[in-house]
Amino acid sequence: MKNILAVFCLLIVFNAKAQNYKYYQTENIHNKLQLNSKTGEVLQVQDDGQTFTVNAALTVENEIPNRYALFKTENMWTFILLDQFSGKLWQCQYSVKGPDYRNTWGINTLSLSYSRISKFRIEPLISMFQFYLINDETGERWKFQWSSQGDEYRWIQKL
C-alpha cells in the first residue's frame, strides 16, 4: 500500500510540473519564441541573451498548463497564438528591427467557450493568411484571417 501511495504522489508531482514553457524555433536562427502555456506570455529570446516581450500574460491567475499554443505561419515573423480553452486568437509578430515591429493584435477576442480543457485547434488553408479554427468537442468551425495590413483585414467568420 505504501508503494502504491508513493507512486501516486510521484505522479501528482510530475503532473503538477507539466511543461509550462515551450520554445518555438523561428526561421531567424538567432531567435526563438518562449511561450508560457499557462498565461499566454510570449517572449522573443535571442542567442545573444536579449529577451523581448511580444505578448504580455493574458491569464495571470491560470494554473492549468497547455492552455495556449503558438502556430507558425508562412510569414517568418508571424505566429498565431491560440487560447485552446476559449478559442481566442492573436497575431504575434517578433522582430529584430526593434520594439516598433514587435506586437500582438487580436483576431478573435471573444470567448467561444468557457471550458477549462483544450478543445480548440487551428488548421491552415491554401492562403497563407487564412486558417480554420476548429472546436474538436462540437465540430464547429470558423474561418479566420491574419494580416500585416491593419485591423480591418483581420477577421473571423463562423462557418
- Enter the DSSP assignment of 17: T
Q: What is the pLDDT of residue 20?
A: 92
Q: The whole model's pTM is what?
A: 0.85
Dump pLDDT digits (tens) for 81-119: 999 999 999 999 999 998 889 999 999 999 999 989 999
Q: Distance between CA atoms of 40 and 88, rounded to whole angstroms?
A: 11
